[in-house]
Structures are given as structure tokens and as C-alpha cells.
Amino acid sequence: MAGPLAGIRVIDLSTMVSGPLATAILGDQGADVIKVEPPGQGDLIRHIGCARGGLSAIFNTINRNKRSVVLNLQDERGRALLLRLVARSDVFVQNFRPGVVERMGIGEADLRRVAPNLVYVSISGFGEVGPYAEHRVYDIVIQALSGMAASQADPKTGTPELVRNIVCDKVTAIHAAQAICAALVARARGAGGQHVRLAMLDASIAFLWPDGMQQHTYLGPGATAPAPLHGILRAFPTADGFVTLLTISDAEFQGLTRALGRPELSGDPRFSSVATRMENIEALADIVALEMRKGTSEAICARLAAEGVPAAPIRMQDSVHEDPQVVANGLLLEIEHAQCGLVRIPGPVARFASTPSEVRRLAPVLGEHTDEVLTEMGVSPVELAELRAQSALA
């Protein structure tokens, strides 16, 4: 059976990570996603990071379930082909800086003339107004401005630390995929097509806020201070690796004392309640750290699990796929790619009982589907040859 978004066509003009990951999620759920790329190098993310066969691993992961069409949008004939594609589509996604697509002649007004019910999606770095709106942006810039880097600061020196992951782009992508689905539901209920706008800065601040900005939620005096997260969120060394754990309730703490062979800690007045444990978190963490070094990660985690304590060994990146729970979930797929050989990528996260999501195809070679897609919309072989000779497509 087809996925829940079967029959929905998405034109993806976005680049790098935020837009492409959003449309990959839609593709997982059955949408026909057509990735429109410029001639030459295509989407820049094709060439960034770990690569094989001329294709980056990042691109391979976030451009699954898409068809690639190469159009020269600097050429009037290329833009005309894009408009013909849009006229047969439901969603258009772009993540250029504000004003760029309008100058290219493919802004919302241009596209609505051929597709009045289109869901038009604009993903920007900072938003469409304000002093930074037209500035270039990458993930680390948003980490800096959103407070994310400050939230990772070294507890001893106060020096901010960047998250070594493209987290802001990916958080924005998840918001975008959800918003697109909501806009499609609204359209089906009679609201018509609409413009959906998202800023990476907004998505990142909203993501960080519930716990990372709790001390700035209540305005004015009277709020208690938040727990010192640097004392709670730790990687404890063991005899052969690292373990992380968290106890919040009294029952979890008592389980921890039993698992560590230190039941007397349950009667220590410093640790008698959640509040006192937070006040004395450094002393408690020192005790836990001492006991953790006495066993292997697997043995310690087994004892903690038996006592109902949330804990896990810290997996190195090269062993995540071997964890028995990861294996049981079946998330990671190993599939042969025609250009890159055997690849391992995550499959769809959301599992639908009646309309299954799936990886139908791996990331496309640049322009792999140009002729196929344009033929579907009525372009003849003669026209294709002429357009190619005129550099309108590749």
C-alpha cells in the first residue's frame, strides 16, 4: 500500500540541509519529490563531507526518495520549464535568502499564476524582516545567536561550545515537514494554498527554550533557580568506557543506591529529596563517579536497568548500529547505491500501520531523472534535445 502522502508532488528547490531533509521526510511518506538543481555541481551538499563515488554521505541520507532534475534557472526557457513543473505540483520548497527567488522570477506571485492552490514554503536563516534578514547563514551562526552555544558552555570557564552537529538545520526541517502537512490538510478543508514561512533562528530558539531557557520564562522576581545541568548531565567513566544516567524521582535514586552497592546513601540527609539532591549534586556526582569506575559499562547498565534507573552506555559512532535495541528497531537500512556502493542510512522514523512509509529509492545522481520527469509533463524528445542544446537543462 502507498504511503500517506502518495499523490502529492513536491518541487524541492532547496539546498544544503534544512529544506532537503524536510522534503526527504515527505518523500519517505509517499510524496513524489522532484529535486531541481542547477547545472554543473548541483546542490553544494553533494560535495561536502565524507564521500564515495563522487557523492557525499550527507547528501545520500537527506535526499533519499527524490528524483533529480537539472534546470538552468538563469535561462528563461529553464524558468519556463520550472513553471510547467509547478503547475502540476502541490508544494514548492525553497530556502534562499529573502528576495532571491523574486529576483530570479520564481517568487510566490510568479508561481501562483500557474498554481493558485500551491503550498509555497520559504525557509530562511533569520526571517524575512529585521536587521539580519539578508545575511548569509550556516548552522553555527544560528547556534551562536539562539543561545544554543551558550547553553553548552564549559561549566568551569564559561566558554561557549558549539554543538558538533548540524542541529539547527535539522530542527528546522522537522518543523517544515510538519507545517507542510498541516498546510495540505488546511487546503483539503477549503483554505486554499498558502505561504508557509519558517526561520532557522525561530525554530532553534523554540527548540532550546523549554529546558535551556527556563530561567527566562518567568518574568519578574519569585521564580526558583533551575538545576545546575552540568552537574546532572555527565558521562561517567567506567572500567571500559562511559555511562550516562539520570535519577529524578526518589524511587529512581533509591534504585541507584542499590545498583551501586551504596544503600546507605538513601539515608544521607544531603540526598533525602529531589531538592536536596539538586543542592548537593556535585557531591552526589563525585560518589557516583567513584563507584562507576569499578565495573564495565555493560555490567553497570545491567544493574541499573534491574533497579529501574534510566541509564545507557555511551556508544561510539562506529558501534551505534550494533546496539541490540537499534538492531531490534530496524531503523538502519543497508542498500546498494548504483554510484556509491553499499550504504547504511536511517529509514523513516514514523511507522504507519496502514499506509507504510519506506525508502523507495536512494539519493539521485545529478540530473538522473531530467528526461523522465520532463517527458511525463509532455516535453518531446525533440524538445529535450533542443533545450539541452540551448543550455536550458542538463
Q: Report the C-alpha gap between 82 and 381 in whole angstroms.
A: 18
Average pLDDT over residues 199-216: 96
**CB neighbourhood size of 61 (10 A):** 18
**Phi, psi (rounded to 5 degrees) for 78:** -65, -40
Mean pLDDT across the chain, nearest whole number?
A: 96
* pLDDT of 120 over the 80 cut: yes
Q: How confident is the model at residue 230 (pLDDT cuts 50, 70, 90)?
A: low
Q: Report the C-alpha gap between 177 and 24 in whole angstroms.
A: 9
Domains annotated on the chain, with CATH: 9-209+327-389 (3.40.50.10540), 236-313 (3.30.1540.10)
* pLDDT of 170 over the 80 cut: yes
CB 73 within 8 A of CB 64: no
Adjacent-strand bridge partners of 93 = 12, 121
35/155: higher pLDDT = 35
* pLDDT of 81 over the 90 cut: yes
* pLDDT of 8 over the 70 cut: yes
**Contacts of residue 129, Cβ cutoff 8 Å, sequence gap at least 6:** none
Say what the pTM is: 0.95
Nearest to 172 by CA among 279, 9, 324, 17: 17
**Cα 44 to Cα 39, 176, 342, 361, distances in angstroms:** 11, 21, 23, 21
Sign (positive/negative) of CA torsion 104, 118, 65, 323?
positive
pLDDT in tens, 239-293: 999 999 999 999 999 999 999 999 999 999 999 999 999 889 999 999 999 999 9
In this structure, of 168-177, 196-205, 229-238, 261-270, the range with the lowest mean pLDDT score is: 229-238
Q: What is the pLDDT of residue 4?
A: 98
Q: What is the pLDDT of residue 75?
A: 96
Nearest 5°: CA angle at 317, between 314 and 322? Answer: 80
* pLDDT of 231 over the 80 cut: no
* pLDDT of 225 over the 90 cut: no
> What's the residue count for the chain?
394
In this structure, of 100-104, 113-117, 385-389, 390-394, the range with the lowest mean pLDDT score is: 390-394
Q: Report the C-alpha gap between 220 and 209 in whole angstroms.
A: 18
Q: Report the C-alpha gap between 56 and 63 in whole angstroms.
A: 11
Adjacent-strand bridge partners of 393 = 71
Three cell numbers, residue 273: 529529596
Q: Report the C-alpha gap between 225 and 149 in whole angstroms.
A: 21
Q: How confident is the model at residue 156 (pLDDT cuts 50, 70, 90)?
A: confident
Q: Report the C-alpha gap between 247 and 67 in whole angstroms.
A: 47
| Percent of the chain predicted with pLDDT > 70 | 99
Q: Report the C-alpha gap between 44 and 17 in whole angstroms.
A: 10
Average pLDDT over residues 17-28: 99
* Cell 510538519, located at residue: 178
Q: What is the pLDDT of residue 237?
A: 98
pLDDT in tens, 286-344: 999 999 999 999 999 999 999 999 999 999 999 999 999 999 999 999 999 999 999 99
**Cα 169 to Cα 52, 67, 140, 154, distances in angstroms:** 24, 22, 10, 24
What is the set of active-site residues?
169
Average pLDDT over residues 371-379: 96
